Structure 1
Amino acid sequence: MRPSPEPPGLPPVYAAGRYGDEVRAVVLAHKERGALGLARPLGAALAGAVVRATAATGALPGAAAPHAVGHRWNPPGRVPSAADSGHGSRSGPRPAASGLEAPRTALRDAAGPLVPAAPWSAPRPLPLLLVVPVPSARRAVAQRGHDATARIARAAARELRRRGVPARAAAVLRQRRPVADQAELGADGRLANLSGAIAAVGSAVPLLAAAPLVLVDDLMTTGASLAVAAGALAAAGGRVVGAAVVAGPHDSPND
């Protein structure tokens, strides 16, 4: 999803859904009303968006690629039966490699011509993936009694590990100065409000250089928080491969 206008430095953003109706109710119940049990389903939804972000950029070779033509997600190591799918040949199961089922037929690329299926090799361990939550203001955390974004990030990392992706939640960003409440600010105001306000913890620099990073948040409105956070990680030597949120704006120009 891309906001309009788009702030400079915003990484590719994937959302589990749009902010409205049931999604809005669940997010607010968790964040504002202390329904902490909702962290697990919200984390599972966020994990799906993280998977899409890494699949789109190739950050985790062999990781799940939802909706890729000719592929289906399977838990790593599972070899599907011929009856599992309604597409392709039913002559029997094919090898599964790191969570992606080998396509039973040739693939059709975006332009239309048929292209041969790529050769498949034995599964290999996936690299570590760091799930980095956008930092919440200390004032907001104190008022709510918990850090909603960090909690969802931890739940997402657990869900990713359950799916076979070696993920770790890394709360390595901090707000180094107070910022104004962003609720009433527009895109330019939010960007100015956060500019220079987010930085990586110095002790986390070696960790940031060791693994690809996916920024996560519960919501994306203008993209300012994600763009500023991505800049802070890059300044500390991190490699941000994408961003994932539970919900994005209804009026985003892209899905």
Structure 2
Amino acid sequence: MRGWWQEISGLVLPVACGGCGVPRTPLCEKCAHELYGSAARRARPVPEPAGLPVVYAAAPYTDAVRAALIAHKERGALGLARPLGVALAGAVRAAVPRTVREAGPPLLLVPVPSARRTVRARGHDAARRIALAAAGELRRTGTEARALPVLRQWREVADQSGLTARERVRNVTGALRVAGGAGRLLEGGRAVLVDDLMTTGASLAEATRALTGAQRAGHFGFAQLNAAVVAAPPFSFEINRN
């Protein structure tokens, strides 16, 4: 019911910029530039968890970007899914070389799932919604792509907020599995793990473990795994600065 109300209210209630609050637009031009106006860059958390793939992020998690992600995820500002998807699509393009995107297998955007209780509380799955928007943006600009939400949380995990990087790794290790029968959907594609935000990288590392483990067990194949997110902490980008 909550998700239905959010969809309807977005059509009939006044909107304001999710980044700065300017009225009559889901995201103003200035905040959109902060979100996807610059080239995506590689982001590496410190410490970097074992098994983390190469991750590209569209923007630092600051100011308008932080506000927009929180508004979409926590306050149900569903009109922000499209601009957040545009940002994520840019990070996917950075993560996968142009030659691969143009001549290689289709891109399969695999969102990192939230806990079921979190999805129920919010009324929507933020990462899945953004992944769908990103896949649409990639197709619109000539790249074959689709969202493939095949990861499932099979055990409860604690709230990650307040946990250290090491505690987050322990909290999520072994928490994800690939849905039964998903191997045939992944076969022959290029899997790209996607999420709205990377902080410590623990969730992306666990998602990588689940996907690659299922690949070995199920004897199905997909091309090299990459990861892309909308945002990451500013310090994650410092390794890229000259």
Question: Can you give the 5+ residue segments of structure 2 that lack an aligned partner in the other structure?
Answer: 1-42, 216-221
Q: Which of the numbers 181, 184, 187 marks the counterpart of 1:206?
A: 184
The sequence identity of aligned pairs, in percent, is: 60
Report 1 or 2 for greater relative contact order, CA contacts < 8 Å, sequence distance ≥ 6: 1
Provide Cα deviations, 1:37-75, integer angstroms capped at 9, x if missing partner: 0000000000000000001xxxx6264xxxxxxxxxxxx
Pairwise CA distance, 1:254: 2.5
User: Are the equivalent residues in 1 in contact too, given 2:105–2:188 (CA < 8 A)?
Assistant: no
> Normalization by structure 1: what TM-score?
0.72
**Does 1:6 pair with 2:48?**
yes
Q: In 2 relative to 1, CA 62–180 (structure 1 residues): closer, same or farther, beyond 3 Å?
A: closer
Pairwise CA distance, 1:127: 2.3
- Corresponding residue for 1:21? 63
- Corresponding residue for 2:207? 229
Structure 2 Cα separation of the partners of residues 172 and 62 of structure 1? 23
**Greater helix content:** 2
Provide Cα deviations, 1:139-194, integer angstroms capped at 9, x if missing partner: 11000000000000000000000011110100000000000000011111010000
**Does 1:175 pair with 2:162?**
no
Give the partner amino acid of 1:54. V
Structure 2 Cα separation of the partners of residues 234 and 241 of structure 1? 9
- Corresponding residue for 1:53? 95
Structure 2 Cα separation of the partners of residues 221 and 196 of structure 1? 19
Question: Can you give the 5+ residue segments of structure 1 that lack an aligned partner in the other structure?
Answer: 64-97, 99-124
Structure 1 Cα separation of the partners of residues 104 and 87 of structure 2? 21
- Corresponding residue for 1:254? 239
Q: Which is greater in Rg? A: 1
Alignment of 1:10-159 (within 5 A): 10-55=52-97, 61=99, 63=101, 126-159=104-137
Structure 1 Cα separation of the partners of residues 100 and 204 of structure 2? 26
> Normalization by structure 2: what TM-score?
0.76
User: After the TM superposition, which parts of structure 1 deviate over 6 Å for at least 4 consecutive aligned residues?
Assistant: none
User: Are the equivalent residues in 2 in contact too, given 1:54–1:241 (CA < 8 A)?
Assistant: no
Structure 2 Cα separation of the partners of residues 223 and 52 of structure 1? 18
Q: In 2 relative to 1, CA 239–202 (structure 1 residues): closer, same or farther, beyond 3 Å?
A: farther
RMSD between aligned residues: 1.3
Residue 29 of structure 1 aligns to a residue whose secondary structure is: helix
Select between 205-214 and 231-240 the one with higher mean Cα deviation: 231-240
Q: Would you say how many aligned residue pairs link Structure 1 and Structure 2? A: 191
Q: In 2 relative to 1, CA 173–240 (structure 1 residues): closer, same or farther, beyond 3 Å?
A: farther
- Corresponding residue for 1:80? none
Structure 2 Cα separation of the partners of residues 161 and 236 of structure 1? 27
Give the partner amino acid of 2:129. R
- Corresponding residue for 1:188? 166
